[in-house]
Every structure is written in structure tokens, then in C-alpha cells.
């Protein structure tokens, strides 16, 4: 009886571990393996005429867990350019006090400027890819993140990561502090 209970609990636990692994794209061939999770909102700020959003997409690219960052800014005012290159980093502070750093896998790229004539707003979009490193990697799967710093080529910007975001812009609810706890196992 104890063994049957253990098997049932183990099966339930392993199912619970993988329930969040719904992929937007998945391809496996003899030479490639790519799994892409749906985009998750990590940060949103709406203040006056300015809006900022940061999305993360977790990817398994041939066995390498990768993070795609998309930083979108809109404003009626001019928005300065931000750039990423191989020296850029994303630094997370976890709730246990530890620091985890992701390294850029992006050649030099700056956010593109688009002007929305209809709404008379400037829009900047920056896309970059970051790799996980071995130091404190396991802590990402155990502890929520509470602070994030993006180190651009021209400076750094800090973001407070919330437990829950009820997005004004997307009309959805997201749980950004637990993104790695909930989804990192899907791209390992």
C-alpha cells in the first residue's frame, strides 16, 4: 500500500512539474531541438504619456536554455536609445539575497525608433538574447526574483519585479517574480 501511494504521489508530482510547459513553438529534427515558451510580461509601467513593458521568452536552443528580452517603450516625448552587446548583462536579485547574472548572447543592437503618426507617439523596441551561467543557476528555480538590472552598453536601469501584475495594457494577469520557478524546467 505504501508503495502504491508513493507511485501515485510521484506521478502527480512529476505531472505538476510539467503542467506549465506549453510551447508556442517546438521543433525536433536529427540536428536541431528548439522549444519556445509563450511570452510573459515581467514589468509594466504606465505613467502619464509614457509606457514601458518588458517581456521574457524562455527558449531551449539545442539544449541551451536562453532568455529572450524584449523592452518596449512608448512616449509622446523623445526616448533615448539603449543598446546591447556581448558585454551586456541582466542581473537578478533573488528573495534569498543572492545575485544571479545572465550574459548577453547578442551582437551589438540598439532599440529601433518607430513613430506612430496616428497617436503621435515614439516607440522604441529592443530585443536581446541572454544565456544562463552555472553560478546560482539552481537558485533561480527555488527563489522568486525581486529586482532586475539591465546593463546596457550606455548605462544600467533597475526594475522592481512584482509578485503579480494586472496589466493595464494587455488586460491579463502575470506572476513575474516566479517566472523561473514556474518555467525554467521547461527549457532545460
The tens digit of pLDDT for each residue in 56-104 reads 999 999 999 999 999 999 999 999 999 999 999 999 999 999 999 999 9
Helix residue ranges per DSSP H, 75-149? 137-140
The answer as to whether 49 is a domain residue is yes
The answer as to whether 136 is a domain residue is yes
The answer as to whether 16 is a domain residue is no
Q: How many domains does the chain have?
A: 1
Which range marks the domain in which residue 113 is found? 22-187
pLDDT above 50 (res 15): no
pLDDT digits (tens, 9 = 90+) for 133-161: 887 889 999 999 999 999 999 999 999 99
The answer as to whether 43 is a domain residue is yes
3-state SS assignment for residue 59: strand
What average pLDDT does range 120-137 have in this prediction? 93
Angle (CA) 70-82-87 rounded to 5° is 85
Amino acid at each position: 500500500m505504501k508503495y502504491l501511494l508513493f507511485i501515485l504521489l510521484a506521478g502527480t508530482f512529476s505531472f505538476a512539474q510539467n503542467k506549465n510547459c506549453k510551447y508556442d513553438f517546438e521543433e525536433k529534427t536529427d540536428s536541431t531541438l528548439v522549444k519556445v515558451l509563450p511570452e510573459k510580461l515581467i514589468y509594466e509601467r504606465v505613467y502619464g504619456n509614457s509606457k514601458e513593458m518588458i517581456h521574457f521568452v524562455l527558449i531551449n536552443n539545442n539544449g541551451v536554455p536562453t532568455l529572450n528580452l524584449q523592452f518596449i517603450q512608448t512616449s509622446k516625448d523623445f526616448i533615448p536609445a539603449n543598446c546591447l552587446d556581448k558585454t551586456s548583462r541582466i542581473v537578478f536579485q533573488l528573495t534569498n539575497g543572492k545575485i544571479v547574472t545572465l550574459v548577453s548572447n547578442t551582437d551589438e543592437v540598439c532599440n529601433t525608433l518607430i513613430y506612430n503618426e496616428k497617436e503621435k507617439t515614439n516607440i522604441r523596441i529592443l530585443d536581446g538574447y541572454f544565456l544562463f551561467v552555472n553560478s546560482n543557476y539552481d537558485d533561480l528555480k527555488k527563489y522568486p526574483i525581486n529586482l532586475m538590472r539591465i546593463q546596457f552598453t550606455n548605462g544600467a536601469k533597475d526594475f522592481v519585479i512584482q509578485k503579480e501584475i494586472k496589466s493595464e495594457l494587455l488586460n491579463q494577469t502575470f506572476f513575474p517574480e516566479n517566472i523561473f520557478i514556474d518555467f525554467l524546467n521547461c527549457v532545460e
